[in-house]
């Protein structure tokens, strides 16, 4: 039986797998910061309600200015969106009838949005045997015939962060063949802002950087993201968006989030610490673990992956399976880094499971 797709919705997962959902469920399948929304957002909540009775700013202000200040880019280079998901849809709309390269395994929404918008999707495979590293030779060969290339950096689900040299080589080659390079930096907040390619947008009109506010600031319900690119590209993408596409509450919350430096540093440290602990534990059990830079990691047990996944599910522990990630074919599991006690519970449950095999 194929496991159902699930995007951070454990209730639906239990129903579709016909497994009774325990009263308490620990969800490691989603990747938001376990700290929850920043304290400044929680404190401002009563005053934020005033945003509800007026139409929002059509350009997503005051968030657009806050992004421009945060990244030291011109406001004309910023388009705010209803989550990075909206940005991906707007982008896909600009590739109708065009050829777009994806590097699998990667975030499934690239293919979904591109196909629905009539783009021709060409999939390049990062091979398991080579540790899912970017297939540089294939990429450089395919670029001249492509209109765009998407790279998720760090990648979801592998957590791998391509090197600066690799990305610069690709972007430079892409510039020569007038190919767009879309870098999805949805999880770069968990690495270090200095690793972002946003400063390179000034040098490369073919470079577009997608960012999400969801993951670092734990605000998946509010829907906020943005793209940074050349002003001309921003202008055309904006034309495809509906008026008032970013709600006023989100635009205010985003400003508060970007001011949260200590919160960000704490989240980076927490993700790093828990990732290392988990990787060490898993390797001690003979599992393969990729060197993730994000707030999740992927692992491959020596034993039956599907059995581990379902046995944990029965105990109320939800991991992310990889059946719909091309090239991982269900052999890997992704684990989001959650609170310290949750991570300890997971290690304990897996320890028991490994002992019983
Ligand atoms: C790599 C990647 N990009 C973009 C998104 C979409 O994020 P948002 O919540 O901002 O729409 C996700 C969500 O899971 C993601 O994993």
Q: Which atom of ligand 1 is closest in space to residue 86's alpha carbon?
A: 11
**Beta strand pairing call for 320-321 and 333-336:** antiparallel
Contact predicate 289/68, CB 8 Å: no
Question: Of 156, 93, 94, 98, nearest to 290 (Cα)?
Answer: 156
Nearest residue (by CA) to ligand 1, atom 12, is 186
* pLDDT the model gives residue 11: 85
For ligand 1, pick from 92, 212, 216 the residue to mutate: most ligand atoms within 8 Å of CB.
212
* Dist. CA 318 → ligand 1 center (Å): 19
- Give Cα separations from 15 to 19, 29, 333 (angstroms): 6, 16, 20
Q: Are 318 and 28 in contact (CB under 8 A)?
A: yes
Ligand 1: list residues with CB < 6 Å: 83-85, 107, 152, 156, 184, 186, 212, 214, 220, 225
60, 86, 107, best to mutate for ligand 1 pocket (most atoms within 8 Å of CB): 107
Can you tell me which residue has the tokens 């940005």?
A: 87
CATH class, 10-30+262-356 region: alpha beta
**352 Cα: distance to centroid of ligand 1 (angstroms):** 33
Task: With beta carbons less than 8 A apart as the criterion, state whether 267 and 33 touch.
Answer: yes
Atom of ligand 1 nearest to the CA of 220: 9
Q: What is the pLDDT of residue 1?
A: 63
**Which pair of tokens denotes residue 246?**
């970013």
- Count other C-beta atoms under 10 Å from residue 67's C-beta: 25
pLDDT at 9: 77
How far does the centroid of ligand 1 lie from the alpha carbon of residue 82, in Å? 11
Q: What is the C-alpha to C-alpha distance for residues 9 and 15, in angstroms, rounded to an integer?
A: 10
Cα separation values, 197 from 38, 208, 284, Å: 25, 9, 35
Q: In this structure, what token pair is assigned to residue 66?
A: 């806050």
Counting Cβ atoms within 10 Å, is residue 127 exposed (0-12), middle (13-18) or buried (19+)? exposed
Between the CA of 225 and the centroid of ligand 1 the distance, in Å, is: 9
pLDDT digits (tens, 9 = 90+) for 35-49: 999 999 999 999 999
Q: How far is the CA of 246 from the centre of ligand 1 (A)?
A: 16
Q: Cα separation of 195 and 192, whole Å?
A: 6
The atom number, within ligand 1, closest to the CA of 155 reads: 1
Give the residue, by CA position, lying nearest to ligand 1 atom 2.
186
The class that CATH gives domain 39-259 is alpha beta
d(C-alpha 130, C-alpha 138), whole Å? 13
From 341, 350, 277, 267, select the one nearest 313 (Cα to Cα): 350
Q: In terms of Cα–Cα distance, which of 268, 266, 332 is closest to 297?
A: 332
* Inter-residue contact 40 to 28 (CB < 8 Å): no
For ligand 1, the distance from its centroid to the CA atom of residue 84, given in whole angstroms, is: 6
- Cα 29 to middle of ligand 1, angstroms: 13
Residue ranges of the chain whose pLDDT lies below 70: 1, 6-8
Task: Give residues with Cβ within 8 angstroms of 277, minimum separation 6.
Answer: 343, 347
- Tokens describing residue 149: 């290339």
Spell out the residues 6+ positions from residue 305 whose beta carbon is closer than 8 angstroms to its own.
Answer: 321, 330, 331, 332, 333
Strands 207-212 and 180-184: parallel
68-123 pLDDT per residue, tens = 999 999 999 999 999 999 999 999 999 999 999 999 999 999 999 999 999 999 99
CA of 226 to the centre of ligand 1 (A): 11
Report the nearest-CA residue for atom 7 of ligand 1.
84
What are the sequence ranges of the domains in the chain? 10-30+262-356, 39-259
CA of 173 to the centre of ligand 1 (A): 27
Give the atom of ligand 1 at the shortest distance from the alpha carbon of 85.
11
- Say what the pLDDT of residue 3 is: 74
Distance 22 CA to ligand 1 centre (A): 28
């Amino acid at each position: 039986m194929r496991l159902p797709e699930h995007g951070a919705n454990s209730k639906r997962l239990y129903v579709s797998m016909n497994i009774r959902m325990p009263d308490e469920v620990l969800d490691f399948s989603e990747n938001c910061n376990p700290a929850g929304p920043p304290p400044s957002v929680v404190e401002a909540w009563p005053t934020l309600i005033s945003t509800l009775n007026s139409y929002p700013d059509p350009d997503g202000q005051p968030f657009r200015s806050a992004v421009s200040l945060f990244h030291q880019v011109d406001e004309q280079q910023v388009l705010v969106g209803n989550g990075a998901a909206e940005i991906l849809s707007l982008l896909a709309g600009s590739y109708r009838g065009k050829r777009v390269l994806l590097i699998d395994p990667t975030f499934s929404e690239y293919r979904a949005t591109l196909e629905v918008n009539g783009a021709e999707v060409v999939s390049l495979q990062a091979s398991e045997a080579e540790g899912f590293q970017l297939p540089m030779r294939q990429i450089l060969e395919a670029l001249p015939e492509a209109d765009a290339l998407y790279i998720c950096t760090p990648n979801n689900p592998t957590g791998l962060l391509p090197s600066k040299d690799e990305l610069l080589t690709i972007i430079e080659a892409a510039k020569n063949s007038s190919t767009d390079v879309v870098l999805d930096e949805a999880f770069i907040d968990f690495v270090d802002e200095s690793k972002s390619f946003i400063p390179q947008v000034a040098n490369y009109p073919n470079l577009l950087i997608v960012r999400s506010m969801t993951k670092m600031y734990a605000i998946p319900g509010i829907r906020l993201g943005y793209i940074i690119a050349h002003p001309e590209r921003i202008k055309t993408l904006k034309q495809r968006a509906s008026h008032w596409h970013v709600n006023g509450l989100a635009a205010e919350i985003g400003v508060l989030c970007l001011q949260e430096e200590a919160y960000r540093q704490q989240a980076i440290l927490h993700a790093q610490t828990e990732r290392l602990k988990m990787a060490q534990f898993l390797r001690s059990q003979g599992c393969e673990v990729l060197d993730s830079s994000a707030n999740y990691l992927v692992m491959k047990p020596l034993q039956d992956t599907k059995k581990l996944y379902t046995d944990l599910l029965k105990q109320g522990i939800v991991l992310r399976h990889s059946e719909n990630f091309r090239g991982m074919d269900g052999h890997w599991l992704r684990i989001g880094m959650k609170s310290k006690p949750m991570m300890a519970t997971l290690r304990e449950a897996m320890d028991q499971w490994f002992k019983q095999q």
